[in-house]
Structure 1
Amino acid sequence: MKIIFPKFDKWGMPLVGLAAAVYFIMEARKPLRPRTRPKPERLLINGSVAAAALPALRLLLVPGMYAAGRWAEKQNFGLLAWLRLPTWLRYAIGFLLLDYTNYLWHVLLHKSDVLWRFHQVHHSDLDLDLSTAWRFHIGENIASVPYRGAAIALMGAPSSLVLFYEVIFEACTAFHHANWQLPYPVERRLNQVLVTPRMHGIHHSIVAQETNSNFSVIFSWWDRLHQSLRLNVPQQKVVIGVPAYRDPKEQTPKKLFWLPFTAIRPWQLPDGTVPERDEKTKYSSTHLCP
């Protein structure tokens, strides 16, 4: 299986790194939400989790997705091949389908108890910022290989498009996890098309109805289509994390690695209360709050 992609590694990943550097600077200058834990502590924890997960992404997931695309091309297999579309239209529709299947995968991560065991490592972060964008358990990255590979083969996405999409996917994931306070009018307009920090911040709330919303990765359209969009929570009222994991002592890299292999805790705070949103604070669900 091919694992070396010169353009992807020489141009794609450095561009993602440059974008991440901009987000890192901007979230320090104009934070969206106040931090609850020391930044060095979280960088060490999230960096340790990412150090195990990123090799799986680069050496297994990316090659696996590329191989699925190459196989579909050689076999003339998949929806896009069967439709016999012009090249530009095949790539445009393929990009949208790649993003839509990732929306469905994200929903599955929340609905499946097995997959949630791994995905809650990402959600249990007590703050949300750029470092959270790579805080994924290695098991989640491995589990995504068969799903994303099968989706690519079935749609017949060209292998070059798969690599291009992955660059945009990683850059957008970093963007909407960043704790960056964009000017509200700008973000509100941008959110009509793309997932933004305010939108994704709600997805990381300890309130269950908010966590189970805003699953889109690049385009916000999929949440609008499936009515899983929730924009009605002011950012200063969002509490980040999973309610059962509020103790910073449980945030060590070792405990986070073993978290998927422990019993799933009920969605409640340590004192037994279930986080809910006071109805009086609700805004229109289709309008992004400041």
Structure 2
Amino acid sequence: MGVIRRNFDYIGSPVLAGLFAVLFVLESKFQLRRRVQNRWKRVKVNAQVAVPSFALLRFIFLPLMVKLASRNQHICTRLGYFLPSHLLRQILAFFFLDYTNYLWHILNHKIPLLWRFHLVHHIDKDLDLTTAFRFHFGELIGSIFYRGAFTYLSGATPLTVIIYEIAFEAATEFHHSNTRLPLQLEQTLNKVMVTPRMHGIHHSVNKCETNSNFSVIFSFWDRLHGTLNLNVNQDDLIIGVAEYPGADKFKASELLMMPLMKG
């Protein structure tokens, strides 16, 4: 599809790659949390887990979302049809997509079948930029049905869908990074968007902390629903899942098989 090539391949992908490079350097020089694993070993494992998901995202997920969006542009029963401005309708659709992803993230933690796949992301015992791509491809397949339905209902155009996906990926890179920002800057940013300290709490082995901070781009969904938690010292955080103390020993192939092997 031309709209994907023009906007995701030629614009979005270079932007995301550039952001990755910048954050990789920043988290190397300004580390937020002390690492407990070998960084380069994790890069290799997390990259291998990410490859199938990247392929699905580009060649199945995005084309399907764009196709759904192309069908709903002229249907006046979609979200925001009452707004007089096309721009306002697309802004509303963008926020709606992010809100429904907040809810999807909660479902990934609450529904056992979904958690089997999301667990691959959470058992990483360090949290950094590479964790942002450590998602099981099965999780992405499951999200197609959920996100497809809300893409269809949102009234988003194909361009809005692509812009949202680029913003989604950029936000995921940013808040997973192990970058120590000046505290005052992060507190200011956190009033609107998810930040590394905020998302770090979500990756804690403490389940009360894990069950908080589900937002992806905008932090105010957690504020709205009372799932916000900012009162945890980063030096006290233990990253991972308590039931998997030896997760750092897993190979990429074992991580990809994990959802199918769990009883």
Q: State the TM bucket, normalised to the shorter chain.
A: over 0.9
Per the TM alignment, residue 188 of structure 1 is displaced from its structure 2 partner at its CA by 0.7
Q: Does 1:58 align with 2:58?
A: yes
More relative contact order, 1 or 2 (CA 8 Å, 6+ apart)? 2
Q: Distance in 1 between matches of 2:259 and 2:3?
A: 28
What residue in structure 1 maps to residue 159 of structure 2? 160
Structure 1 gap segments, 5+ residues each:
265-290
Structure 2 gap segments, 5+ residues each:
none
Per the TM alignment, residue 102 of structure 1 is displaced from its structure 2 partner at its CA by 0.6
Per the TM alignment, residue 261 of structure 1 is displaced from its structure 2 partner at its CA by 1.4
What are the residue-to-residue correspondences of 1:134-149 with 2, within 5 Å?
134-149=133-148
Per the TM alignment, residue 5 of structure 1 is displaced from its structure 2 partner at its CA by 2.6
What residue in structure 2 maps to residue 25 of structure 1? 25
CA contact (8 A) 1:77 1:153 kept: no
CA contact (8 A) 2:118 2:135 kept: yes
Percent of matched pairs sharing the same residue:
46
Deviations 1:11-42 (A, max 9, x none): 11110111111100000000000000001110
What residue in structure 1 maps to residue 72 of structure 2? 72
What residue in structure 1 maps to residue 171 of structure 2? 172
Partner AA of 2:163 in structure 1: F
My pick for the range that moved more, 11-20 or 27-36, is 11-20
Q: Distance in 1 between matches of 2:248 and 2:75?
A: 52
Partner AA of 2:41 in structure 1: E
RMSD: 1.5
What residue in structure 2 maps to residue 223 of structure 1? 222
User: Secondary structure of the equivalent of 1:179?
Assistant: coil
Q: Does 1:244 align with 2:239?
A: no
Higher helix proportion (structure 1 or 2):
2
CA contact (8 A) 2:7 2:162 kept: no
User: Secondary structure of the equivalent of 2:194?
Assistant: coil
Deviations 1:212-243 (A, max 9, x none): 11000000000000000111100011100011
Q: Distance in 2 between matches of 1:214 and 1:150?
A: 24
What residue in structure 1 maps to residue 110 of structure 2? 111
User: Secondary structure of the equivalent of 1:73?
Assistant: coil
Q: Distance in 2 between matches of 1:74 and 1:89?
A: 15
Q: Distance in 1 between matches of 2:54 and 2:129?
A: 15
What residue in structure 1 maps to residue 7 of structure 2? 7
Per the TM alignment, residue 249 of structure 1 is displaced from its structure 2 partner at its CA by 5.7
Per the TM alignment, residue 74 of structure 1 is displaced from its structure 2 partner at its CA by 4.4
Q: CA, structure 1 residues 95+249, in 2 after alignment: closer, same or farther (shift >3 Å)?
A: closer
My pick for the range that moved more, 254-263 or 43-52, is 254-263
Aligned residues: 263
Q: Distance in 2 between matches of 1:96 and 1:4?
A: 21
What residue in structure 1 maps to residue 85 of structure 2? 86
User: Secondary structure of the equivalent of 2:245?
Assistant: coil
